[in-house]
Amino acid sequence: MMAVSSTLRLSLTLGAAFAPLSLGGPAVGARDSVPPEFVAKPYYPAPHGGWVESWKDAYTKAQALVSQMTLAEKTNVTSGIGIFMGPCVGNTGSAERVGFPRLCLQDSALGVASADLVTAFPAGITTGATFDKALIYARAVAIGKEFRGKGANVYLGPSVGPLGRKPLGGRNWEGFGSDPVLQGKAGALTIKGVQEQGIIATIKHLIGNEQEMYRMYNPFMPGYSANIDDRTLHEIYLWPFAEAVHQGVGAVMTAYNAVNGSACSQHSNLINGILKDELGFQGFVMSDWLSHIGGVDSALAGLDMNMPGDTNIPLFGYSNWHYELSRAVLNGSVPLDRLNDMVTRIAAAWYKFGQDKDHPRPNFSSNTRNKDGPLYPAAIFSPSGQVNWFVNVQDDHYLVARQVAQDAITLLKNDGSALPLSTSQKIKVFGTAAAVNPDGPNACLNRACNKGTLGMGWGSGVADYPYIDDPITAIRKRVPNVQFSNNDGYPWFHPQPSADEVAIVFITSDAGENSFTVEGNNGDRNSAKLAAWHNGDELVRKAAEQYSTVIVVAQTVGPLILEKWVDLPSVKAVLFQHLPGQEAGESLANVLFGSASPAGHLPYSITKRLEDFPDSIANLRGFAFGQVQDTYSEGLYIDYRYLNKQKIKPRFAFGHGLSYTTFNYTSATISPVTQLSLLPPSRAPKGSTPTYSTAIPPASEAIWPANFNRIWRYLYSWLNEKEANEAYAIGSTGSKKYAYPAGYSETQTPGPASGGDEGGNPALWDVAYEVSVTVKNTGSTYPGKASVQAYLQYPEGIPYDTPIVQLRDFEKTSELAPGGEETVTLKFTRRDLSVWDVTLQNWVVPGFDGKRYTIWLGEASDKLLTACYTDTGKCESGLTPPV
């Protein structure tokens, strides 16, 4: 969502700034600049939810509830009550009469936002860098418990879009890394952990939000159009969303931008066609904050919830839905059938995660830390009351937060075994990132500054730190008289270090959401590009001139260009902490001083130059008249897929990460599990879905109750009597017809062949092969955890162009003592072995007839140690890998 300040002042300024524009209505710019081959095909009607077996109970309960609701109650629960109107960043209207409460939707993906007494977990990118499924899940369990403890209903995470296509993109760090499988598996485990705590997770942002600048529709210009071909959409960007739906995710958030020229919040092919019919999504779809631009059209296109309720210019008490949706149902434009489906989807998700039983109501306020405050801050003259109950939800979650931060630390280089350090070593520490921001860890609104330890990026994807355990504190616990230059420049007067002294140099790179500009970066890293901030590269170079051993520690949202110093002889070791959250100190010191071996791996490639990528990836799209076009001309070839194809050696490849020990693979085996055919077996027909009367309800169901005490700017679902009667007259007589979009229909369809269950045709998830390998710690000194990454190479001679290798699964061993070993098993599904055929509109297995797929096992995308073959069932080592 859009980062919004928790202070009312900012919100009012925002409102005032847009005031003169509020009358014109939303302007949706012409789409004539979209390249002609990209089309947003119509797909109608919105498929009903409820036909999937695992949601049956929830839908049965939802139907019983929804059938008791009036029109105004139904439209109430599909919309937020307005920005800054309640405790959470999103608050729906309620239907209290029938027992359905207001729902609390809360940021962020890394912890409960704008609240005290919570844990600030490591960011998504850090979590991805662990390549550790058990830890990803454990973090999610803790996050889910904190959201529940604070009384939220909906967790606005995980983020898997942006996927990380552009290294400069502003919000990549909220997700898990620049690969669909890493995003998909980490996203699904996060959903599982969170939803098991009775919290509805939200997979976001659907789709193509790969840069921040020009993402939003506003009265002057439309959001940019991400132009994505069908195969690329399926095999790269949609892949993690399919995984999320397969996991049973309860909610989806659409993206701000357009796809193929049509805004995601009202893109019928994207929501009705791809998400709800092909992927069989059973939960509800919400708009990103203030991105909803078309009332009737978005309803028809499959949007189910309008967030935070306002039109895209907030705070005037106007909404595209609420009273307008009541009107649109009365006047016959939006079929009651569609509204019933929206509400049923929302109520079903609420039942599915047990929120009808003892779910706490919000006991915190996103708007203030005081005990008492306005109940509806945006109303200005609001009644007051208790808004904070100061519930501490932290428990021992710092432990899992620290473990993730520690296991994510990625050792890129370690010449001469410079690390680990001994605690008797003479050490000097340089760089402000070693210490917490002297103004306090939360001094900047939405973390929109880069000062002190960088534990997260900026924008809506943040939480408030309860504290930061900073690196300098943790280092001092081990080496009490360490000297620290809390400065990003090299000191003017600095004594000549002795030969045995070590310099640890901290550098950073920050990014975030477009709602703030930090040091010239508008969200994306448009100004700093991939250089360290605050002249960090220069600080490293200066230290490297004086010291014979320099250890560089980077806190960063994504890749950096390291070429200015990485090859200098005294730069012995480089560690990426990524964005460690509150547990930045002990996690790092444990690795620096050898209590733990580094175990993180790069969730993206680090190139030698940004220009090693093609223009479509390397550069942000600049201003254009009309709609900015972001065309995915590189197709499937992002990150290592592109570099491998072009034979460009990165500085450090995707998946790279060193340890203090070494590992070896033995006894690799591959076994077939399910016999494959070219196409998946045909899907079962959809199950039944709830049915209701479709007659337009009486106008009285939408008329204001007598003597209702309205709160100023609060959004309601009622109309006055005259308006309601007028609308009903149109609807009941059909005297005026809505100008429906081309291709509009109200007849439910059987759904595409590629669908059939949550995530698509259920056979896509059949395991086709399993590969096992025994990993041994072949070192003699340090224990360590090994990452086994499995990359798939498609058969030769197939009629599809495929990337040379693609990550398909990964496993992490437990900590292996020297000499210790463990066997891990990796799984390859039908989908993993398929390609999306744009003509057949289905997943096909091009090598189903006995052609050789090669599964490469390795420690990184460029360190492939063992190959297993699907045709012979054999595995071998000591080969020259294809990349």
The count of chain residues that interact with ligand NAG, using the rule CB under 6 A, is 42
> Whole-number minimum distance, CB 743 to ligand NAG, in Å?
12
Element (H, E) at 254: strand 251-254
> Whole-number minimum distance, CB 392 to ligand NAG, in Å?
10
- Piece in contact with ligand NAG (CB under 6 A), picked from 58-66, 88-96, 447-455, 601-609: 88-96
Closest CB to ligand NAG among 504 and 865?
865
The number of C-alpha atoms within 13 Å of 492 and in the hemisphere containing its C-beta is: 0
Residue 94 binds to ligand NAG (criterion: CB under 6 A): yes
Interface with ligand NAG (CB under 6 A), residue from 254, 363, 514, 587: 363
Residue 756 binds to ligand NAG (criterion: CB under 6 A): no
- Piece in contact with ligand NAG (CB under 6 A), picked from 34-42, 285-293, 616-624, 797-805: 34-42
Interface with ligand NAG (CB under 6 A), residue from 183, 257, 260, 870: 260
Residue 85 binds to ligand NAG (criterion: CB under 6 A): no
| Residue 76 tokens, joined | 């109430």
Element (H, E) at 476: helix 471-478
Inter-residue contact 883 to 858 (CB < 8 Å): no
For residue 576, report the phi and psi dihedrals to the nearest 5 degrees. Answer: -100, 120
Closest CB to ligand NAG among 322 and 542?
322
Residue 76 binds to ligand NAG (criterion: CB under 6 A): yes
Closest CB to ligand NAG among 72 and 448?
72
Which residue reads 């940004």 in tokens?
610
The number of C-alpha atoms within 13 Å of 144 and in the hemisphere containing its C-beta is: 23
Inter-residue contact 788 to 773 (CB < 8 Å): yes
Residue 327 binds to ligand NAG (criterion: CB under 6 A): yes
Question: CA of 70: how far to CAs of 282, 326, 500, 527, 563, in Å?
Answer: 23, 10, 78, 53, 65
Residue type, 97: R
Element (H, E) at 65: helix 56-66
> Whole-number minimum distance, CB 736 to ligand NAG, in Å?
4
Selection from 183, 226, 232, 341 nearest residue 277 by Cα? 341
> Whole-number minimum distance, CB 72 to ligand NAG, in Å?
4
> Whole-number minimum distance, CB 853 to ligand NAG, in Å?
21
Interface with ligand NAG (CB under 6 A), residue from 288, 324, 469, 757: 324
Which of 288, 470, 488, 524 is catalytic? The answer is 288
Interface with ligand NAG (CB under 6 A), residue from 778, 781, 814, 841: 778
> Whole-number minimum distance, CB 762 to ligand NAG, in Å?
23
Closest CB to ligand NAG among 318 and 430?
318
Selection from 361, 312, 375, 311 nearest residue 711 by Cα? 375
Residue 81 binds to ligand NAG (criterion: CB under 6 A): yes
Interface with ligand NAG (CB under 6 A), residue from 29, 151, 240, 697: 151
- Piece in contact with ligand NAG (CB under 6 A), picked from 73-81, 519-527, 580-588, 800-808: 73-81
Interface with ligand NAG (CB under 6 A), residue from 32, 37, 358, 796: 37
Inter-residue contact 184 to 243 (CB < 8 Å): yes
Per-position b or e across 365-398, b if 16+ CB within 10 A of its CB? bbbbeeeebbbbbbbeebeeeebbeebebbeebb
Closest CB to ligand NAG among 230 and 563?
230
Residue 74 binds to ligand NAG (criterion: CB under 6 A): no
DSSP string for 596-646: S------SS-B-SSGGGS-HHHHS-----SS--EEE-TTTT--HHHHHHHH
> Whole-number minimum distance, CB 757 to ligand NAG, in Å?
21
Interface with ligand NAG (CB under 6 A), residue from 213, 296, 474, 617: 296
Residue 144 binds to ligand NAG (criterion: CB under 6 A): no
Residues 648-667, mask of contacts with ligand NAG (x by CB under 6 A)? ----------------xxx-
Interface with ligand NAG (CB under 6 A), residue from 108, 717, 806, 829: 717
Selection from 691, 515, 729, 429 nearest residue 83 by Cα? 515
Interface with ligand NAG (CB under 6 A), residue from 38, 121, 241, 565: 38
Give 863: exposed, middle or buried? Use CB within 10 Å, 0-12, 13-18, 19+: middle
Interface with ligand NAG (CB under 6 A), residue from 45, 93, 280, 755: 93
> Whole-number minimum distance, CB 793 to ligand NAG, in Å?
19
Instruction: Give residues with Cβ within 8 angstroms of 24, minimum separation 6.
Output: 219
Residue 723 binds to ligand NAG (criterion: CB under 6 A): no
| Residue 876 tokens, joined | 């071998």
**3-state SS class at 19:** helix
3-state secondary structure 675-697: CCCCCCCCCCCCCCCCCCCCCCC
Inter-residue contact 656 to 643 (CB < 8 Å): no
Residues 675-714, mask of contacts with ligand NAG (x by CB under 6 A)? ----------------------------------------
Interface with ligand NAG (CB under 6 A), residue from 16, 19, 39, 399: 39
Interface with ligand NAG (CB under 6 A), residue from 295, 317, 512, 779: 295
Interface with ligand NAG (CB under 6 A), residue from 15, 50, 124, 149: 149
Q: What residue spans of 67-179 are helical by DSSP H? A: 71-77, 124-129, 133-149
Interface with ligand NAG (CB under 6 A), residue from 259, 405, 579, 620: 259
How many CB atoms sit inside 10 A of residue 688's CB?
10
Per-position b or e across 411-448, b if 16+ CB within 10 A of its CB? bbbbeeebbbbebebebbbbbbbbbbbeeebbebbbbb
Contacts (CB under 6 A) with ligand NAG, residues 387-426? 389, 391
| Residue 249 tokens, joined | 């995710």
Residue 331 binds to ligand NAG (criterion: CB under 6 A): yes
> Whole-number minimum distance, CB 260 to ligand NAG, in Å?
4
Mark whether 288 is an active-site residue: yes
Q: How many helices (H) and strands (E) does the chain have?
A: 19, 28
* Maximum distance among all Cα pairs of the chain, rounded to whole angstroms: 92
Interface with ligand NAG (CB under 6 A), residue from 269, 366, 453, 777: 269
> Whole-number minimum distance, CB 261 to ligand NAG, in Å?
9
| Residue 171 tokens, joined | 């919000």
> Whole-number minimum distance, CB 544 to ligand NAG, in Å?
33
Closest CB to ligand NAG among 40 and 507?
40
Cα-to-chain-centroid distance, residue 388: 28
Element (H, E) at 542: helix 536-546
Question: CA of 109: how far to CAs of 1, 40, 155, in Å?
Answer: 11, 30, 7
Closest CB to ligand NAG among 26 and 523?
26
> Whole-number minimum distance, CB 229 to ligand NAG, in Å?
5
Residues 733-752, mask of contacts with ligand NAG (x by CB under 6 A)? ---x-x--------------
> Whole-number minimum distance, CB 207 to ligand NAG, in Å?
8
Interface with ligand NAG (CB under 6 A), residue from 14, 48, 73, 104: 73
Active site residues: 288
Q: List contacts with ligand NAG (CB under 6 A).
A: 37-41, 72-73, 76, 81, 93-95, 102, 149, 151, 229-230, 259-260, 269-270, 295-296, 324, 327-328, 331, 333, 360-361, 363, 389, 391, 664-666, 717, 730, 736, 738, 778, 877
